[in-house]
Every structure is written in structure tokens, then in C-alpha cells.
Chains A and B, each alone.
Chain A
Amino acid sequence: MRITTRKRRAAGAILASSALVVLAACGGSDSGSSGKAVDKLGKTEGKVSILAWPGYVEDGSNDPKVDWVSAFEDKTKCQVTSKTYGTSDEAFNLAKTGDYDVVVASGDLTARMVASKEAAEVNTDLIPNYAKVYDFLKDQDWNTFDGKHYGVPHGYGANLLMYNEDEVSPAPTSWSAVFDPAEMAKYKGKITSYDSPIYIADAALYLMKHQPDLKIENPYALDEKQFNAAVDLLKGQRKNVGEYWSDYLKEISAFETGDSVLGTTWQVIVNSVEKAKVKAILPEEGATGWSDTWMISSKAKHPNCAYKWLDYIESPKANAQATEYFGEAPNSAEACDFASDPSFCDTYKAGDKDFASKLWYWRTPVAECLDGRKDVKCMDYSEWTKAWTEIKG
């Protein structure tokens, strides 16, 4: 069978135009949510799905010794399904699918969740354990918007500097180990960094202490000049980076094989590295960190179980189990009594205002500078994400 070119062209045109018709028909629709917090709880729905950082929702399937989900399931008859994520951006996309009733979000995500109406207002009266939470974690910029609560605090911690004790000497005390060209050169190709635009704040924090003339007040509020300085610093670091990580299992394996010997980490990773001698420090400049918030999705299909989960995870015992496993400070002084390690709260300096003041919790960078400057425009998160792909090159 022969088909002439003209016929083929005509067929192509018909196909293409029909495709456009189909496309035009698939217009988007906006889904609005009432946004009002509930007054009282109804019957539990028998299940709840949770989106969380790794190590936050453990039911014993990863490590039989680590399980605080089963107790919740027995008590409330809400079956828990959970999914973990590696970066706040990933969480944002997953949260938007509406498949998750509960989302635990760091400060660089909460504002976006609220702005895009993905998070529902939370009635803290329905969460009895909320009363026990440290006051300095309540009513913060990243969990309370326009005086309304959009979640309850989980815990807080720092992005630490981890190194392999056998390979790295002298032991680092400052972030200059991963930002100063001369110091980095010693471990060229063995340095690792967190693979997310929010990591630009780590560079800004370093510049805040080492280049005072840039006048950086807040690593999440960078005007163009400050931002470019941070990006340049990271481009210099890029030459020495062996690999970037966002999957925490990848960083564990890289440190165990010796492919990485120095870089940013979380305490939970330090605890998980078995085949290498690693140590993590809070460098003298302080560190970026996180203060996490349990939020309820505005599209939650199981809101009553979601409230039950929020109350359960706020309870001192469950909170102690979860925060101790991940390696971060718990949300209440009472939680310290439930920790398996008596020195737990000292290690993470729970309630220590001095330590907390050295931490810069992740925030979403927006054009209106977070440090209150009115005369300049700050770089917003889309500029950060764009710069991040450029830094990696």
C-alpha cells in the first residue's frame, strides 16, 4: 500500500488538530477549601496517610526496635500508611496530590503550603497534648499565619557538619572546612552537600560570619548582591564536591564506602553510619536547621484520624521516641523524661535558648525580605531554585 506524501501530511494535520482540541477541553479547575478549622471531632475513619521526613513515622518495618506507630494504631484503630520524602520541594509536590491527610513540614515549606491552600487551619483545642509544648515553639512565623494555627510543633534540630574521623584531620570546627578554597582542596572530590536550593542559606550563613561587609542579617533574606556572593561561594564549592545528596540512604552509603568524608548531615544519618568512624559537630558559625510542624491537608479524607495522629505525636512519649530516633530536640520538656538515653535532651540542647539562637530555621525565601528591610527586594525561592541548577552546572 502506498500513501502519498500529501495524504500523509493531511493525516498529520488532522492528528495534530485533534490533539489540540483534546488539550483545550482539559482546562484546569480551581478547587477551593473552606479553610475554617473544625470545632469538634467526629468518628475516626479507620485509616490515615502521612507524608513525613524519614524516621518520623516508624512502625518497626525499618528497624524492629523502632516503633511508635503500632501503639497509635492499637489505641485509635486508625491504620497508618506513610511515605517519606527527601526535600521540602518533593514534599510540596506530593502534598499537592491530596493523597495525604497529614504532612510534617519544615519552615521552608509551611508558608508555601498555606499560601497554596494545601494546609487546613488546625484547632489546637482538639489536641490536648499541645498544652505541653515549649512556648518558644508556638505561634512562630512558620506555623502561625494571620494569627491562625496551621499546625503543631514536632521538634527542631540543626544541619550538622559530619566528617570521617580517620580521614579528616585536624577535626573541623568551622564551616570553612567546606567553603574555604584552601581547606576544601585537601578533600577534593570527597565533600558532599545537601541537594536542595535551601542549601544556599548555608553559604549565606557562612558569609554572614566571614564577610561582614555584605551585611547579611538573615540567611533567608538575601538581596541580589548578597545572593550572588552566596552563589559564587557555592560554585567554588562545586569543584570540590564529590556528590550531592538528598536521599539520606545515599549519604550513608557514601560515608560507609569512603566516597564522601566531609559534609552536611542530619543526626539520624550520623546514627545510621556503621561501617565508618564518623562524627558530627555544630560548627562555630552556628547552622541552618529546621523546626518542623505537623499539618493537616485541606484535602484530607480522614481528618478525624489526622487529629488523633497530631495529638498522639505531640504526646511526650511518642514525641520523645520520634525525635530521639531522628536526632533532634523534642517539642516539650516532659518528652525528655521518656527518652531512652537520659542525656538525650542535653545532647540536643532541648529548651536551650542559647543553642536555639545559633540556629537559623529553614524558611521560604520571599521577595519581601524576611529581615524586615523595605528598601530592597530579596531573591525569592524561584530564583533560589534556578540558581541551584546553575551552581550544579
Chain B
Amino acid sequence: MSSMEMPKGADLAVRCHDVAVSLDGRQVGEFEDLVLLGMAVRLALQMRGLPAVPYELLRKVGLHLVKIPATSFNAVLKLLEEAEFVRVVTSTSGKAVIPTVPYYEDFFEQAGAVANSKSLNEHEQLTLMLVNQLANSPTPLSSFYNLGAEKKLVDSATTLGRDAGYLSVRRARGKNVLTSPIYFAEHADAFADLVAGAGSNRVTRVLSLLATHQGWPFQVILSTGKIGEEVLSQEDLNIVRALAGEGFAAPPAIQTPHSGLTHFLFSPQRTSARLRPTERHLHEAAMALVAAVRQGQLLPAAYRIRSPKAILNALRDRGFIRANTESRHQYNKLAVLRVGRLEHVSGDWYKFVLLETEEAREVVNRALALISNDAPRVATDEEITMALMGGEDYFDSLIGRQRLVQQSQVTASEETMQEINDLLLRGMP
């Protein structure tokens, strides 16, 4: 499966958003409508569900928080009007903006329709193709030379993307491999190496299958040669083995007397909503919960779970999963992670009860999103929404606070440290 083509419709709107977020207000001479579209999508998402907002406040929030340059704001607003996401009302008292942003697929469909109607220049089109492909899988740079664009243009687009932050270049097995820091924020080197060895098409296919079958047991994939109902070739299975091995996140595991130690594989989520450090443990717990229901679905001792989604819905709605003889092993990890507790009923029968905490409920919701392949495609920022609802005074105090916060230091990530260490290893006499 290849997405080496210009994204259309909803995908186009999402990719424009990805580029705009990465640029974070920086101006690029080669881009015209692409960034405007991206900023329009971002602003619209923050305004959804809100009541009417004064134009001036929206403009300031756009400038300081969404990074829409003052000179571009009216153009962004015009795009939003074109998409029927806002109504702009002018009166003697001033201008107000009434958000009429729709929900669900309608949002991206309408945004995509407007994006489709714009004539993007060659640089923009190539950038979108790059970003679209990299959202699905890291890809060797050489693959992009075959698209028909001049090599010089591809190199220029790559350099620009690297500087802007929506792609990074990794060196693996003698090849330059492009990765997306948005969609493959973690283990980028490992993915680059995998793609350099196995090819991006194959990796894309396997990751795509895992995305629709999150938490599929590694041993089941190897023994059946399938993920779900899709048959895998030997090369695909090698990719699966690599994903379960070194360099990638250790997959969650469950130990049971009847099936031994089973690992459950997950693909990176298809969302630009980056995982905040404070949310990491929630994501890991969600994966453990998905692993638990997959265990019951695919490797039961006695009775098979027919619908993992139904089990998770029941857990969310009722607060517990009915007692059975497999619960103790299936949900043990969740008890350790303080998502729930195991209540002994009798003999080998245990009931898994969700803790009455917001975090536990959030874990279940994330597990449901994983199983349904349902993560929101783009993230919203509560701070921006609060700024729009809070009015001018709130906004002014927020900006003041932000200026102070910018002074403080942020701890470098592991990847950043590795880069610095590698540089020093090479460079220090």
C-alpha cells in the first residue's frame, strides 16, 4: 500500500494542519495557501462548541497561541467562512465571530472541500505528499525521487521539512530515511532501520494491519501467519518479529498457566496528538487493558471473549467485568498499575473492578479508542479554548504567565541527549 500521492479531502486538511503546527508561526517563502489552510483547521478545532467571540480577542489568541501572523489572520478567517465554520458579524460596536464548526467527519470533509478547491504550488504539493507518506511509515528518501519531481525540488522540500520540524532525516543501512517526528515520535531510529531493510511499502502494510488490530498477540501472528484475517508473507512476519524486538517499545505481556508468556503488539497511533509525558502512564495502562481483553479473545483457557469492545464498554458503564476463572492472570497487571482491583469471589473466580478514579476511567476510554482505531486525528489545546472563553482579561494574564514560563528550562528528551552524546563522541578530541 502506498500513499505516494497528493492527499485529498479530509487527509489534505489534516496534513496542512500538521505542517502548520510544526512551523509554529514561522514563515516559509515557498508556501502560500498550505499554511493558511493548516492554521484555519487548527483555529476551527479550538473554536468548536464555543459561543460568539469578539474578533479582536480571536485575532490576539490566533497570534499568540495559534501563531497566526497578524497579516494572515483575515485570510484565515475568510477560509473559515468559506468552509462555513464561522459567521462574521460586523456592527457599529465592532466585529464578532460566531463559530458554527461541525462535529465528526463533517469537520474534515468540509475543511477538505475547501482545501481541494485551492491551487497549491509544486513545492506545497510535494511537501504534502511527503508528509502524507510519512504519516503512514518512514520512507527512504530515494523513493521520493521517483515521483516525477526534480531531485533538486525534493531535496529542497526535505531540507525545509527538516528545518521546520515536520520531518527528520535518519541514516540507516547506508540510506537516508525520512521519518515523521509527529507520527513516529518514538523509536525513530529503529523504524528507519526497519524501513531501510524491509522497504516502506511492506512496513506500511504491517503497521496498518496492526493499527486496525491493536494489541494482537505476537505468538498468534507467528503461529497463524495472520493479523486478523489478513495473511502475511514471510517478509511481513520478519517485520513483525522486528517490531517485537530490540529498539522498539517492549510490548505488554501477560503470563498465564495455559498459554505461557504472550506479548501483544501495538502500532503507533495515527494521530498528531502527541503524548504528553504526564499521559504516558495512562497510555501504557490502556495498552495493558487492551492486551488483557485480547488475551481473553484470542487465547482463552476456556471461554472466548467475542467482542473486546463490548467488554470494555461494560467495564466503563458498569465499573466491573464479571467474575471468571481467567481474570486473575488476565487483569493482574491492571491491578498493579492501579487501574482496578481483583476481587476474589470463590475458588479461582475473580472479578475485575475498576477503581473509581478519573485516571482509571481515562484508561478505559483510551483502551476503547485503541481497539476501535479511533484516536482523534488532530489534537485540541484546552488552553486556547479557555483563552477564547475567558475574555480579554484572562487572555492577558495567560500571555503574561507564558512569558514567565518561557524562561524556565525543559529537560531534554532521551533522543535529544543521544544526539548530543553522539555529536560529542565524534567531535571531542
The answer to whether A binds B is no
Residue positions of A touching B, CB distance < 8 A? none
Residue positions of B touching A, CB distance < 8 A? none
